[in-house]
Amino acid sequence: MPEPAIDVQDLRKHYPGTPNGVGLNGIDLRVERGTVHALLGPNGAGKTTAVRILTTLLRADSGSARVAGYDVRTQGRAVRRHIGLVGQSAAVDEVLTGRQNLLMVGRLNHLPRPAGRTAALLERFGLAEAADRKVSNYSGGMRRRLDLAAALVVDPVVLFVDEPTTGLDPQARRDVWSAVQDLVDAGTTVLLTTQYLEEADALADRITMLTGGRVAAAGSPDELKALVGGDWLEITPADPADLPRLWDVAARIGEPVGRGGLLAVPVTDRTRALVTVSAALADAGLDPLDLTVRRPTLDEVFLHITGATADSVGSTGVPGGTR
Ligand SMILES: Nc1ncnc2c1ncn2[C@@H]1O[C@H](COP(=O)(O)OP(=O)(O)O)[C@@H](O)[C@H]1O
Ligand SMILES: [Mg+2]
């Protein structure tokens, strides 16, 4: 089995001289090559601390971390040669054009033919038209996409992206998502951090939830959703007067609950539940507006987990922490 792109064991970092001082409280992390991994957590969870350690900008107090097969502590130079970093704030130069920014990165890294690579990246990130305008005229989303392009000039094995869409409007966020998705389709390994559950859900193969410098939960989006329980079958009545009869139908497969005008019943086998309920509805001559089986959302998972772990992580585990 090839070595994972990122392999972290019991990583710890304390910041001396600060009120609680905890950056990371012993986290484990494993990211397979060619996958997208999201570090998901509220402000102050330790996401940026982890990214800074993994990109060799900061030294951990203890624990081990390997990136692209190299030890971040003893082989920093090799790690830096194989990674790209898109930091939390934009790193591109305002007074230069988009093209000039990318060319500069190429020259600093001694790329043999930076112009061709630069043009291809501008095209790929939807910036070809704006390429020769100054970055000071770019929107937030365009800057973020230029940031991503700049991190890819040297074709990294692992790309770190710290909060790619914080502060962006929904359209710009979608544009950045599709840019990240393109990277992934091209086989780049991506570790991204985010405060947004829907972002982790949309982009990541696996998610590590951090609170207060600890891992609160880890797994695929589906595995995390399974933590809060199984699926729910939901029936939306066409007419509220049908509710009592719909209730009787739903009660055949479980114990229904009312949820703001619709009926929900927990299910273990989604296909069987749908088949059974559809048949029963037809028998009863009922035609509801909607019949679906729904996974819990990551929001529900997050509330469940942060609620459940608040005692063990102490005050630093409270969403919205100190920073
Ligand atoms: N340079 C620093 N000096 C002191 N404390 C810091 C520093 N950077 C981060 N911290 C603290 O470490 C914790 C984790 O911060 P950070 O890694 O930035 O979290 P996140 O990126 O998830 O918001 C916070 O409590 C924060 O206040
Ligand atoms: Mg941060």
Lowest mean pLDDT among 71-75, 168-172, 313-317: 313-317
Atom from ligand 1 closest to the CA of residue 88: 21
Output the pTM of the full model.
Answer: 0.79
Ligand 1 pocket member 15 (CB < 6 A): yes
| pLDDT per position as a tens digit, 97-114 | 999 999 999 998 888 889
CA 141, CA 208: separation in Å to the nearest integer?
26
Q: Band of the pLDDT at 319, cuts 50, 70, 90?
A: very low
Tokens of 171: 């359209």
CA 271, CA 27: separation in Å to the nearest integer?
38
Q: What structural domains does the chain harbor?
A: 6-82+156-225 (3.40.50.300), 231-294 (3.30.70)
Ligand 1 pocket member 212 (CB < 6 A): no
How much is the average pLDDT of 88-95? 83
CA 300, CA 158: separation in Å to the nearest integer?
31
Ligand 1 pocket member 44 (CB < 6 A): yes
Atom from ligand 1 closest to the CA of residue 52: 17
Mutate to test the pocket of ligand 1, among 49, 89, 192, 210 (most ligand atoms within 8 A of CB): 49
Atom from ligand 1 closest to the CA of residue 50: 17
**pLDDT at position 323:** 35
Tokens of 118: 């630069």
Closest Cα partner for 296 from 269, 322, 271, 266? 266
Taking 80 as the threshold, does the pLDDT of residue 296 lie above it? no
| pLDDT per position as a tens digit, 236-277 | 999 999 999 999 999 999 888 887 888 988 888 888 999 999
**pLDDT at position 176:** 86
Q: Band of the pLDDT at 291, cuts 50, 70, 90?
A: very high
For the chain, the distance separating the N- and C-terminal CA atoms, rounded to the nearest angstrom, is: 39
Q: Band of the pLDDT at 310, cuts 50, 70, 90?
A: very low
Task: Tell me what percent of the residues of the chain surpass a pLDDT of 90.
Answer: 57
Taking 70 as the threshold, does the pLDDT of residue 282 lie above it? yes
Helix (H, G, I), strand (E, B) or coil at 210: strand
Q: How far is the CA of 318 from the centre of ligand 2 (A)?
A: 15
Tokens of 313: 């992580």
| pLDDT per position as a tens digit, 12-71 | 999 987 777 789 999 999 999 999 999 999 889 999 999 999 999 999 999 999 999 999
Ligand 1 pocket member 48 (CB < 6 A): yes
Ligand 1 pocket member 323 (CB < 6 A): yes
Ligand 1 pocket member 43 (CB < 6 A): yes
Q: How far is the CA of 49 from the centre of ligand 1 (A)?
A: 6
32-58 residues labelled b (16+ CB within 10 A) or e (exposed): bbebbbbbbbbebbbbbbbbbbbbbeb
Contacts of 223 (CB under 8 A, 6+ apart): none
Average pLDDT, the chain: 87
Contacts of 177 (CB under 8 A, 6+ apart): 165, 199, 202, 203
Q: How far is the CA of 85 from the centre of ligand 1 (A)?
A: 18
CA 251, CA 232: separation in Å to the nearest integer?
13
